[in-house]
Amino acid sequence: MKSLSKLSPVLVLALAGSASGQAFPAVVELSDLDGTDGFALNGIVSGDSSGFAVSEVGDENGDGIDDIIIGAPYASRNGNFKAGEAYVVFGRNTGFSASEELSDSNGVGVIVYYSVVPGDELGTSVSSLGDVDGDGFNNFIVGAPKADPNGQSTAGSCFIANSSLPVGALYGINQYDLTGSSVSSAGDVNGDGLDDIIIGANKASPGGQSEAGECYVVFGSTTTFDSLPFELATLDGTTGFVLTGIDAFDRTGASVSCAGDVNGDGLDDVIIGAPKADPGGRVDAGRAYVVFGSTSGFSASIDLSTLDGSNGFVMNGIDANDRCGQAVSSAGDLNGDGIDDIIVGAFYADPFSGTDAGETYVVFGRTTGFGATVDLSSLDGTDGFVINGEAFNNRSGWAVSSAGDVNADGLDDIIIGAWNADVVGGGLFEGKSYVVYGRTASFDASLDLSSLNGTYGFVMNGVNGGDRCGWSVSSAGDVNSDGIDDILIGAPNADPAGLSGAGITYVVFGRRCLPDVNFDGMVTAADFTAWVVAFNNGLLPCDQNGDGMCDPADFNAWIANFNIGCP
C-alpha cells in the first residue's frame, strides 16, 4: 500500500477551522428512528409488557452477528394468563425497517419462548450467560419468579437454553422466594474456564430473616446441566454457592450482575443489590455488595455480612429511602485504566435537582485493594463519581448497564434509565435514557445528566406519555454488524399500533464521528494526521466511506466528511 504520510503537510495547510466531533447529538428522539440509525420492536398483544427486561445474548444462531432477548412477562399465550414470554431476535447485516414486530411468523428472525403455566411471569428477567456447559455455544437465561416448582407457590424458576437446544430449568427452593426476579451471567468466578450464573431470590428468608433475600451462584459445568431440572437447594460449594442477605426485608438479590474483574486479579466478580437494607439505621437507604471471584474454592453458603475487603466489599446507600442497589451492573472499563468498573443505581435519591430525581454511582475498579466498605458519599472523581438525575421524580438509576462502546472511541460507555421522566413538550412519564461516555480524561466528583450535550454523552427521549421508556436498558452487542456496539431500551407500557401496554423495545445503533479520527471530540486538521497514521497501519478509523477497506478512496471521503462535520 502506498504511504500517504508525505501528503499531510500540504493538506493540513489547506484545512482551517473546526467543528463538533460528536458521534451523537445531545438528544436522540426515539420516535425518529428510521432503520438506519435504529429501530423499534413492537409488542404484538395488549398487556404483554414486552421490553420489561432486555439484554444482549451474543451470537445465538452462529451467523457471526450479535442477537438480543426481550422479556414480556405479562403475555398470555393460548389463554394462559401472565404465563409470560421471551423473544430472541437475531441480528443481521441486511438492514432493518423503522419498526418490526416481535412475532415468530414475520420472517425477520424471532424465536419465542413461552410458559404454559398461568402466572409464571416468565420474562421478568433475561440475560446472556456465555457458555455455561462447555459445548462451545452461548446460552441465555430467563427468569419466571412466580413459577411454582415442586408445588412451592412462587418459589420461582429460571430456564437456560440456546437457540438450538432444549430448555432446562433451575428450581427455586421455598414458597414466595421469587427466584429469578433477577438473573445474569456471573462471568467466570471460579476460574475454571466456564461461565457461571447468578440468580436473585429477593423474597427468600435465610435463617428465618423474612425477605432478607439471597442469591445463587451456579458454576458452569460440562455435566451439571445434562440432567435438568437442577435444584438450587443442592448447591454445595462445588456446584455453586448461596449468598445470604443480612437483615429482614433487605430484599437482597433484587438486582444481580457480573461485575467484571474489579480488583484486577484475573477473575470475574459479582455485584448484588439489596435496595431495602437499612445501613446505619437509614431506612431503605439500600446496599450493594461486590463478591470477589476465587480459585481457592467457596463454601456452600456465604453470609454477606462477612465481606471484609479481602473477599468483597459493601457499598451503603447514603440517605434514607434512596433504594441504593435497585439496579447494579458492570460498567466495563469506563476510565480506560484496564480494570473493570461498576454501576449502582439509587432511583429514589434526592440530588440538588429534586426529590426522587435519582442518583447513579460509578465506582472504579482498582488493583490496590478495597476496604470492607466503599463510602459512596466520598467519591471524588479519582475513585468514582456520582451521576445526578435531571429533575424531580425522574427516578434515574432505576435501570443501569454497560452500553459497550457506542461511539467507537475505544472506551466503554454506560446507560441509565429514568422511566418516570417527562419529555419537554410532551406528556407525562414518557421516560428517558442517558448514555454517559467513557473517557481517559479525569472525571469530576459529580456529573449532572442535565448537562449532557453530545460531548460527554446524550439523552434518548421516550415517545408517548406513560410509555415508561427506560424501565430496562442494556447493551445490545453489535446487532447490525457494523463493528460498533448498539443499545437496548425497554418501554413496557408503550402502545404500538394502539395495543395498550403491548410494549416497545428500541434498538439504537452505535455510531462514530467519521472525521474525528483522533477521538478528541472535535473535527480539526489534526484529524488528518491521525487519519494518515490509521491509513498506513490499516486501522479502522481510516475507513471513511464504509466499504470496510482502507484504500485511497478514503482520502476523498475523509475530506467530504471533514466538511460535513458531525452532529
pLDDT tens profile 323-362: 999 999 999 999 999 999 999 999 999 999 889 999 999 9
Q: How many residues does the chain have?
A: 567
Rounded distance, CA 438 to CA 153, Å?
Answer: 44
Q: Give yes or no for residue 9 having a pLDDT over 60.
A: no
Domain assignment present for 498: yes
Residue-number span of the structural domain to which 268 is assigned? 22-512
Bond before 229 cis per omega within 30 degrees: yes
- Average pLDDT of the residues in 145-167: 90
pLDDT in the model for residue 126:
98
CB 86, CB 70: distance < 8 Å: yes
pLDDT tens for each residue of 358-407? 999 999 999 999 999 999 999 999 999 999 999 999 999 999 999 999 99
Q: Give yes or no for residue 432 having a pLDDT over 50.
A: yes
**Helix (H) or strand (E) segment spanning residue 403:** strand 399-404
Q: Give yes or no for residue 466 having a pLDDT over 50.
A: yes
* Alpha helices, H only, 439-552: 526-537
Q: Give yes or no for residue 6 having a pLDDT over 50.
A: no
Using alpha carbons, select from 438, 460, 504 the residue that is nearest to residue 41. 504
Higher pLDDT: 13 or 293? It is: 293
Rounded distance, CA 309 to CA 273, Å?
Answer: 17
Rounded distance, CA 526 to CA 522, Å?
Answer: 9
Work out the angle at residue 26's Cα, subtended by the Cα atoms of residues 338 and 455, and round it to the nearest 5 degrees. 40
pLDDT in the model for residue 105:
57
Task: Give 3-state DSSP helix, strand, coil % of the chain, rounded to 5.
Answer: 10, 35, 55
How many Å is the Cα radius of gyration of the chain? 23
pLDDT in the model for residue 3:
43
Using alpha carbons, select from 410, 425, 387 the residue that is nearest to residue 27. 425
Q: Give the chain's domain count.
A: 1
Domain assignment present for 179: yes
pLDDT in the model for residue 21:
55
**The three three-digit cell numbers of residue 515, written as one number:** 472525521
Mutual angle of helices 526-537 and 553-564, in 10-degree steps: 150
**Helix (H) or strand (E) segment spanning residue 79:** none
pLDDT in the model for residue 108:
60
Rounded distance, CA 174 to CA 154, Å?
Answer: 8
Q: Give yes or no for residue 1 having a pLDDT over 80.
A: no
- At 14, the pLDDT band (50, 70, 90 cuts) reads very low
Q: Give yes or no for residue 309 having a pLDDT over 50.
A: yes
Rounded distance, CA 419 to CA 331, Å?
Answer: 20
**Helix (H) or strand (E) segment spanning residue 475:** strand 472-477
CATH of the domain at 45: 2.130.10.130
Higher pLDDT: 136 or 278? It is: 278
- Among 9-13, 27-31, 32-36, 505-509, which is the least confidently predicted range? 9-13
Domain assignment present for 560: no
- Average pLDDT of the residues in 36-60: 97
pLDDT tens for each residue of 468-503? 999 999 999 999 999 999 999 999 999 999 999 999
Helix (H, G, I), strand (E, B) or coil at 451: helix
Going from the C-alpha of 287 to that of each of 120, 255, 320, 323, 346, the distances in angstroms are 28, 11, 11, 8, 9
Domain assignment present for 196: yes
Q: How far apart are the first and last CA of the chain?
A: 33
Residue found under cell 433504594: 323
In degrees and rounded to multiples of 5, residue 165 shows phi and psi of: -120, 160
**The three three-digit cell numbers of residue 411, written as one number:** 472506551
pLDDT in the model for residue 227:
81
- At 552, the pLDDT band (50, 70, 90 cuts) reads confident
Higher pLDDT: 561 or 243? It is: 243
Q: Give yes or no for residue 460 having a pLDDT over 90.
A: yes
Q: What is the DSSP string of 459-474?
A: EEE-SSTT--TTSEEE
Rounded distance, CA 351 to CA 274, Å?
Answer: 21
- At 560, the pLDDT band (50, 70, 90 cuts) reads confident
Rounded distance, CA 139 to CA 131, Å?
Answer: 6
pLDDT in the model for residue 541:
80
Rounded distance, CA 336 to CA 325, Å?
Answer: 25
Beta strands in 50-191, from DSSP E residues, in sequence order = 53-58, 67-72, 85-89, 99-101, 110-114, 125-130, 139-144, 157-162, 165-171, 179-187
Using alpha carbons, select from 198, 177, 190 the residue that is nearest to residue 295. 190
Using alpha carbons, select from 372, 373, 376, 344 the residue that is nearest to residue 360. 344
**The three three-digit cell numbers of residue 83, written as one number:** 404465563
Residue 533, number of CB atoms within 10 A of its CB: 17
Using alpha carbons, select from 493, 504, 324, 489 the residue that is nearest to residue 398. 324
- At 564, the pLDDT band (50, 70, 90 cuts) reads confident
Rounded distance, CA 161 to CA 225, Å?
Answer: 10
Going from the C-alpha of 84 to that of each of 52, 129, 237, 250, the distances in angstroms are 11, 20, 32, 27
Highest mean pLDDT among 196-210, 415-429, 519-533: 196-210
Q: Give yes or no for residue 104 having a pLDDT over 70.
A: no
- Average pLDDT of the residues in 449-473: 96
Higher pLDDT: 260 or 545? It is: 260
Q: Give yes or no for residue 44 having a pLDDT over 60.
A: yes
- Average pLDDT of the residues in 305-316: 98
- Average pLDDT of the residues in 318-327: 98
Rounded distance, CA 364 to CA 370, Å?
Answer: 11
- Average pLDDT of the residues in 154-175: 89
Mean pLDDT for the chain? 92
> Can you name the residues that pair with 185 across neighbouring β-strands?
197
